[in-house]
A = this chain, B = another copy of it.
Amino acid sequence: MTTQQLCEQIQIKKSFLCVGLDVDLNKIPQHLLELEDPIFEFNKAIIDATHDLTVAYKPNIAFFEAYGLKGWTSLQKTIEYINEKYPEIYTIADAKRGDIGNTSSMYAKAFFEDLNFDSVTVAPYMGKDSVEPFLAFENKHTIMLALTSNEGAFDFQTLEVNGKELYKQVLETSKTWKNSENLMYVVGATKAEYFTEVRKIVPDSFLLVPGVGAQGGSLSEVCKYGMNDNVGLLINSSRAILYASNGTDFADAARAEALKMQQEMEEVLKA
């Protein structure tokens, strides 16, 4: 999917919500565990209940890999289901990959070709040649960690290098890489005041924003400091939507949560 198509979907749906699919078998409704593929069945129900309110789904790859071959099968079925039934939806493989060039190429092949995701998240620590193999894919986005939403973000990301914080250096350096127009960035919602700084360096880029909801970030604050003319934000919510109920009404409860967020977004877009 192109950036342009993503922007159109945001305008059509009046939403820039991304639903994270972090499916933990210990948290999903117990009646699903009797089915052959509980993770896929759970995802399918969530997707069917929320697809008109969200522009993106973000399967968290760890939550599939933890279940081995069965998990990888669930992942494959989930992405195929979205791509076939809701091709207008933008898909993000939340994988945080990154390795030397020939290895990053294999990860890119895994997520862009084999699974056919629109985008994948990557880590910056290994630098240019660990990210450029992802950027080489046309009409695919590479979403690089800049400033994350967890406590450990302050261990290294905010240390000062060259007179600025490391995450700013990461943003600046990445703009010099080949096909950098295919980059988006992860910026955590738990630090809304940082969005002003981020926007000085990457005014036009899309930002994937975790940390609203369960992790404590505020949607209105993020929009205030982070939005650009194209909206330029994908706000992720995972647990607040997925586990709104753990009864047989879980899909309806998820829809109600997603609707609340979409309506809040519609208000922001009007203003």
Q: Which residue numbers of A lie inside 8 Å of B, CB to CB?
A: 22, 24, 60, 62-63, 65-69, 71-73, 76, 94, 96-104, 106-107, 109-110, 114-115, 123-131, 145, 148-157, 159-162, 166, 169-170, 173, 210
Q: By the criterion CB–CB under 8 Å, are A110 and B66 in contact?
A: yes
Q: In whole Å, how far is A151's beta carbon from the nearest beta carbon of chain B?
A: 5
Q: By the criterion CB–CB under 8 Å, are A145 and B166 in contact?
A: no
Given known pairs A62-B104, A66-B109, the reply for A125 and B128 (CB within 8 Å) is no
Question: A131 to chain B: which residues have CB within 8 Å?
Answer: 152
Q: Which residue in B94, B110, B145 is a CB contact (below 8 Å) of A125?
A: B145
Question: A123 to chain B: which residues have CB within 8 Å?
Answer: 96, 98, 123, 125-126
Q: By the criterion CB–CB under 8 Å, are A66 and B114 in contact?
A: yes
Question: A107 to chain B: which residues have CB within 8 Å?
Answer: 62, 65-66
Q: By the criterion CB–CB under 8 Å, are A103 and B60 in contact?
A: yes
A166 to B156, CA, bound (A): 8
Q: By the criterion CB–CB under 8 Å, are A68 and B150 in contact?
A: no
CB closest chain-B residue, reference A157: B125
A159 to B62, CA, bound (A): 30
Question: A65 to chain B: which residues have CB within 8 Å?
Answer: 106-107, 110, 114
Question: A169 to chain B: which residues have CB within 8 Å?
Answer: 156, 159
Q: By the criterion CB–CB under 8 Å, are A151 and B125 in contact?
A: no
3 nearest A-B pairs in the assembled complex, by CB-CB distance = A127-B152, A127-B155, A62-B106
Q: Given A125-B125, A156-B173, 18 more contacts at CB 8 Å?
A: A60-B103, A62-B97, A62-B99, A62-B106, A63-B106, A65-B114, A68-B114, A69-B76, A71-B110, A124-B156, A127-B150, A127-B151, A127-B153, A127-B155, A127-B157, A129-B150, A155-B173, A156-B170
Q: By the criterion CB–CB under 8 Å, are A110 and B166 in contact?
A: no
Q: In whole Å, how far is A154's beta carbon from the nearest beta carbon of chain B?
A: 7
Q: Which residue in B98, B100, B101, B162 is a CB contact (below 8 Å) of A159?
A: B162
A97 to B65, CA, bound (A): 12
Q: By the criterion CB–CB under 8 Å, are A72 and B63 in contact?
A: no
A22 to B105, CA, bound (A): 12
A107 to B94, CA, bound (A): 12
Question: A210 to chain B: which residues have CB within 8 Å?
Answer: 100
Given known pairs A62-B107, A96-B97, the reply for A115 and B152 (CB within 8 Å) is no
